[in-house]
Each structure stands twice: as C-alpha cells, then as structure tokens.
Amino acid sequence: MGELASKKISEQDWVEYTQRNEDAFRCVGIINDIVKELQCKSVLEVGCNVGNNLFYFRGLAVHGIDASEYAINLARKKYPFVVFRVEQAQKLPYEDKSFDFVFTRGVMIHI
C-alpha cells in the first residue's frame, strides 16, 4: 500500500508526494486539464483504490468505485468530499450519462 494510503492528507502532502512520483501522476494532471477544459461538473474514477487520484477534483461532484472494501474504507476517511462505493468495474451501478467525465488509471490490466 502507498505511503499516503493510511492517513488523511493535506494539499502540501499531496504536492510533495506527486513531486516525488512525477511520472506516475503526470496522467492525472492531464486528466485534470481535460476536466477543466470541458467544464465538467461531475467525475467518476473506476478502480479508484484509496482515492488519491480524486484529490484534484475537489469542488466537483466526485465519485469513485473500487472492488476492494478495504481500499474504499480508507478512501472515505481520507477524502470525505468524495462519494465512494464498493463496486465491480465490469458492471457500473449508474445510469448512462450520470457523469460528465469517467476515467480509469491502471485498472484494465486487472480485468
């Protein structure tokens, strides 16, 4: 489990963590840019693990799903502004067009 998985992180913690892991988080920055450019109001991450990618989207309607109940419980503690659910990626529990932007990062290799 990642070093930030067990605690609620501050913006400064996040900045320092992403600087140390620049390559790993570059795509999340690109996703954030796309979400802003499209003026999205809602975001869903499929396979969110402990929710670290969703930090960027504070202020939007943010949702994350993951198959791991353990990961979702940690995510709920760290990011109370996000709606988390334990769900399978293969069968999303939402109606079509429920979100302006849906993404996944590093999940497809597990399916």
- Tokens at 77, concatenated: 């503690």
Per-residue pLDDT of the chain in tens (111 residues, 90 and over written 9):
344 444 566 666 656 665 666 655 677 888 889 999 999 999 999 999 999 889 889 999 999 999 999 999 999 999 999 999 999 988 899 999 999 999 998 776 666
Token couple for 54:
């969703």
Contact 63, 84 (CB under 8 A): yes
